Amino acid sequence: MGKEIISLKKEILEYGKDNGINALGFLKAEPFFRDLERYNYADKKGYLSSFIKKNSELNIVEGFKSVVVVLISYPNPNYNLPKNPGKELGNKIYGKVSSSSWGKDYHLVLRDVLEKLAEYISNISEMKDYYISVDTSPVSERELAVKSGLGWIGKNSNLINKELGSFVFIGALFTDIEIPGIDNIELSDDFCKDCTICIDSCPVNAIDKNMRVIKTNLCLSQQTQEKEVINSFVKEKIKETKYIYGCDICQEVCPWNKKERNFNPLFNPEIEEVFIDLEKLLLETNSSFKSKYGHLAGSWRGKKIWQKNGKFILLDSDS
């Protein structure tokens, strides 16, 4: 059996500290997503994005007993952007890509981290089967993180960790072993308190303050990933903010992100991957786009999505 099972949690925590995992949490593998009040509220309001599959995580937890949740920090634009990007780019017209798409694709980075963690756990326990979830399955990693005590849901609907803020990627490792000493817990305090900075700063008023959910029909982060034609109001806001993929505004203004923090160096981008030359972007072929931007998480939607949003910046918003 290797290490005594009673020390398993401690061993995993130590492994995380030594291997670039910024925070680690644990919880029992049991269905809960379909009973979330926030989820049901968003569903009734029509806020759920086209990428969410309802209630299907029930099929994933079967056969697993414990979940290990990891947080990996990524760059905060407040501290990791040039002050005058236009000057550095030769005053070319540019579009911005949100920091969740900087550097190497986070799906690949977190999967590698979790595969190595799974290998470690299997070597010190009787674990034989596991399942990895990194934002590509029906599992809500954010809710798993909350249940494991790693943070709370901010008013902008992001997970906020007291030490790391909200610029974190979340991954989950479902295991077929019981890890002693874990309980599904949530932080009892609301550390956002009376703060409404994220709500007040959202350029499209996409934050529903009643239940901390996002109006995906307005949210720039969501709408810049959609293939459908965007309404004129959202088009205008894309032109104002210059985002062609994602949006960081509600996180940038959050007081919990005012402190500069270390992040995984694999997410450190080249300036040309953050500020996209729009005139060149419109000339990209599928192959050249993949060659230039294919390693970025935001490239998964393809060049046409970026080009569509870039045109809103280059041209009149109603064109």
**In the predicted model, is pLDDT for residue 192 greater than 80?**
yes
Confidence of residue 258 (pLDDT cuts 50, 70, 90): very high
Task: Determine the Cα–Cα distance for residues 32 and 144; give it in Å rounded to an integer.
Answer: 9
Catalytic residue among 18, 35, 135, 190: 135
Range 152-176 average pLDDT: 96
- Count other C-beta atoms under 10 Å from residue 147's C-beta: 21
What is the average pLDDT score of the chain? 87
Mean pLDDT confidence for 262-278? 91
For residue 264, what pLDDT band results from cuts at 50, 70 and 90?
A: very high
Q: Is residue 85's pLDDT more than 90?
A: no
In the predicted model, what is the mean pLDDT of residues 252-270?
A: 93
CA dist 166 and 164 (Å) reads 6
pTM: 0.89
Please, which residues have CB within 8 angstroms of residue 20's CB and are 6 or more apart in sequence?
Answer: 72, 113, 264
pLDDT of residue 270: 87
Please name the helix (run of DSSP H) or strand (run of DSSP E) that holds residue 173, with its range, or none.
strand 168-175
Point out which residues pair with 150 in neighbouring strands. Answer: none
- Rounded Cα gap, residues 132 and 126, in angstroms: 17
Q: Alpha-carbon distance 1 to 8, whole Å?
A: 11
Which pLDDT tens digit goes with each residue over 11-70? 999 999 999 999 999 999 887 655 467 666 666 766 566 555 444 455 567 789 999 999
Cα 227 → chain centroid? 20
Active site annotation includes 135:
yes
